[in-house]
A = this chain, B = another copy of it.
Amino acid sequence: MDPEEFRRAGHELVDWIADYRLRAATLPVRARVRPGEVLGALPASPPEEAAAFAEILHDLDAVVVPGLTHTQHPRNFAWFPSNASLSSVLGDITAAGLGALGITWQSAPALTELEQVVCDWMRQLAGLSEGWHGTILDGASAACLVALLVARERATDGSQRRSGLQGEPSPLTVYCSADAHSSVAKAALLAGYGSDHLRLLAPAGPARCMDAAKLDEAMSADRAAGRRPAAVVATAGTTGTTGFDPIGAVAEVARRHGAFLHVDAAMAGAALLLPEHRHLFEGIEEADSLCWNPHKWMGTVLETSLFYVRDPAELVGVMATDPSYLRSSVDGAVVQYRDWGIPLGRRFRALKLWYQLRLDGPEAIRRRLRRDLAHAARLGELVAAEPGWELVAPVQLQTVCVRHVPDGCGPDELDAHTLAWCEAVNASGQAHLTPSLLDKRWMVRVSIGAEPTEWDDVEATWRLMQEAAATTTPGREG
């Protein structure tokens, strides 16, 4: 495709995207397709002839859009906010259009240095000290894996440059809350620690925080048994209930036992932008690494995960390779981000964050986050005040965790009821919520924070939840 063809099609596409965003609110939030339906609507064999752009636009409307759950819908309360702010979209378009290749500083100096700049801007906006050095990874799963690899190498003084984990005499252990994201367990397993050496600590209290004293006990017990505590992952804002592990207390224990501390603030890290919420992250400066995803609540386009470390030299020591075809005369004078993560090559990731910060401005972003927090607090009050409804966890941020408990409903019946009314809401197409297990029992999460969500949307959804719960109450169906 030549630049003039691109120009024509690009203009059509920009209009199509703007129109999509304008009409998103009119679409059913959750996709209504059956498994295999999109697949079946597309040719089984690749095309031989080139198609006109109009055919693509037709298929977007006919096949793709009906096959999507609309993350950018104002009544999307599922999973977590995954905004793609249009300012950031412009940055991502620029990255694709420039086609710059980030494999070494020399291959795209601005790609590297703009990443340094925006990571530092974000550090400042988050109120973090100058002791943090950041990069952009694709997601929190990669960040946790990298952190646990660095922890593994710290604990073994660089086993990977010798005979690997198998050469190590005493087993390495990893600790996190049982409420930590599944990616923590995945990272521990992939990094080779083994599930037998992963300690999932029961969260304590209604706010479901990691208990630092229990962590201390677990680490002491492991050490007494000849094992070496290598890493602790503290969660700031769990996926289920937005619980916050007490980072300061956890850091003190981790340090005392010689373990690396990674903080996973994937979703909730956006709250660092609000000074009045930084107390939730108390002790963060004592951690070794930190991840939070602007591609969630803050609204940067996927895949934008900030990963900060206190000691870049340690990180680079674990992740670096130095092949001749990537050497240049400026090595040593520049940052080589290929040595800060798993991939060698990267696209121009920093642009989407740079555009968003400049075009929207931090104050507008903070205002939107505060709006969402106010909505969540208000919904929490309504739920708490409504007979038959329960808040199953304190509303610490923008997630409201609820159950509707009909009179005399036993645990299994309650589980079925919870899933039933949630499904009724979702099947309506008017809103989208996701259920989650809490101590092995189902509850429903209302995760507030889609960019276009206003109070009317929350209120309408709350009414819908009440109607759905009423019509699905055991003994009252049909």
Contacts and interface: CB of A to CB of B under 8 A. Distances in A.
A118 to B, nearest CB: 8
Chain A at the B interface: mostly helix, strand, loop or mixed? helix
Given A183-B321, A325-B240, A342-B190, A355 B111 contact: no
A20 B9 CA distance: 16
B110 A38 contact: yes
A455 B218 CA distance: 67
A225 interface: no
Given A51-B358, A323-B239, A5 B86 contact: yes
Contacts of A334: 35-36
A358 B38 contact: no
A190 B160 contact: yes
A196 interface: yes
Interface in A239-258: 239-240
Contacts of A388: none
Contacts of A196: 162-164, 167
Interface string A44-70: 111111110101100010011111110
Nearest to A145: B342
Contacts of A72: 98-99
B106 A96 contact: no
Contacts of A363: 48
A141 B345 CA distance: 9
Contact of A197 (B15, B37, B89, B164): B164
B325 A436 contact: yes
Contacts of A460: none
Interface string A274-317: 00000000000000000000010000011100000000000000
